[in-house]
Amino acid sequence: MHRLDLKIRLHCGADIAIGPGKADLLEAIQQTGSISAAARSLGMSYRRAWLLVETMNRCFTSPLVTTLAGGRHGGGAQLSELGVQVLQRYRELCDQALAAVQDGLDDLGALLANPTPVPR
């Protein structure tokens, strides 16, 4: 079976302000309350996750992710109100775009050859 998908990225100059991977990271931060836990859940390094968060925070009018300093009671991270709004609007936009092009994707997918099984 073929899998067709559509990837939407919003650029801010040379940076990608939000795209599928950054949206997944925002969602993971929202669920875990931590950049490091979110990174682990997505199989990426903390440094990579932190750099992605820095880019998103720089690209929008205010930060999407806010952090709390560590220490005795631990640190953490959470989405700002704007972060929640951006994530929701991005997911809605992706759903709308996919629905709008689904017939064309299905037609194009029907023209693909049968995939060769990947040897294990």
The residues, ordered by sequence, that sit 6+ positions from 111 with a Cβ below 8 Å of its Cβ are none
Q: What is the pTM of this model?
A: 0.84
CATH number at residue 82: 1.10.10.10
Residue 1 belongs to some domain of the structure: no
- Rounded Cα distance between 54 and 106, Å, is 37
33, 77 Cβ separation under 8 angstroms: yes
Q: Binning pLDDT at 50, 70 and 90, where does residue 42 land? A: very high
- Can you tell me the mean pLDDT for 93-116? 84
Please give the residue range of the domain that contains residue 79. 10-109
- Rounded Cα distance between 106 and 113, Å, is 13
Residue 82 belongs to some domain of the structure: yes
Residue 72 has pLDDT above 80, yes or no: no
Element (H, E) at 18: strand 15-18
- Rounded Cα distance between 41 and 3, Å, is 23
Domain count of the fold of the chain: 1
Residue 115 belongs to some domain of the structure: no
Residue 93 belongs to some domain of the structure: yes
Residue 66 belongs to some domain of the structure: yes
Higher local confidence (pLDDT), 91 or 108:
91
Element (H, E) at 50: helix 46-59
